[in-house]
Amino acid sequence: MSIRWKPSATVAAIIEQNGKFLLVEEHTPEGLRLNNPAGHLDEGERLEDGCAREALEETMHLFTPTHLLGVYMSRFQRPATADQDHEDITYLRFAFCGTLGAMQAGRSLDTGIVRTLWLSPDEIRASSARHRSPLVIQCMEDYLRGQRYPLSLIHTDAGVIDLQPVAGDGRA
């Protein structure tokens, strides 16, 4: 039986204010890395909602996506170690820009996130060796070029949100 290839669907918030971009510093197996507030899309979640959730979890700020910045694919390969098998993952990233809201009191940063920081485009370019993904720069450059697509470009079928178990599919 062949195994079907599936990319990992992720969402990312590209947040700019006063010429600086909000990034997170996070623990990874490769050490501390910089990334956009981003993460995996959850089952039953619209892309925009997943992006808002990830931004909140990783920055403690509300975020409202206003535009789709772009759809990106990247491949990540991590060599095998004594503790872990080789990983070869293709990410399908849906990046959004939008409005940053208030910090939510009483929240804490998501597991693995060390801190948030605001960096200028030049600081982001100069720190590329510390980026979790080449998409950090790509998304920023697309944003700076004014690339924006209306959210109406995205359609989420109601069956995704109203996900009900199908008899015999193993979900309770």
pLDDT tens across 92-140, in order? 999 999 999 999 999 999 999 999 999 999 999 999 999 999 999 999 9
| Distance, CA of 50 to CA of 11 (rounded, Å) | 7
| Distance, CA of 147 to CA of 140 (rounded, Å) | 10
The domain that holds 57 is classified in CATH as 3.90.79.10
The pLDDT value given to residue 121 = 98
50 versus 6: the higher-pLDDT residue is 50
Instruction: Output b/e per residue, 120-132; b: 16+ Cβ within 10 A.
Output: ebeebeeeeebbb
- Determine, yes or no, domain membership for 160: no
Tokens of 26: 């996070």
In tens, the pLDDT along 73-100 reads 998 877 777 787 777 888 899 999 999 9
- Determine, yes or no, domain membership for 1: no
Query: Which residues, in sequence order, are bridge partners of residue 32?
Result: 27
Residues sharing a CB contact under 8 Å with residue 28, sequence separation 6 or more, in sequence order: 112, 132
Q: What is the pTM of this model?
A: 0.88
The pLDDT value given to residue 29 = 85
% of the chain exceeding 90 in pLDDT:
76
- Determine, yes or no, domain membership for 35: yes
Please state the domain count of the chain. Answer: 1
Tokens of 138: 């790509």
Tokens of 25: 């510093």
- Determine, yes or no, domain membership for 59: yes
Rounded to 5 degrees, φ, ψ at 42 are -90, 155
Closest C-alpha among 37, 48, 62 to residue 136: 37
Q: Which domain holds residue 143?
A: 8-151
The pLDDT value given to residue 86 = 74
| Distance, CA of 67 to CA of 131 (rounded, Å) | 24
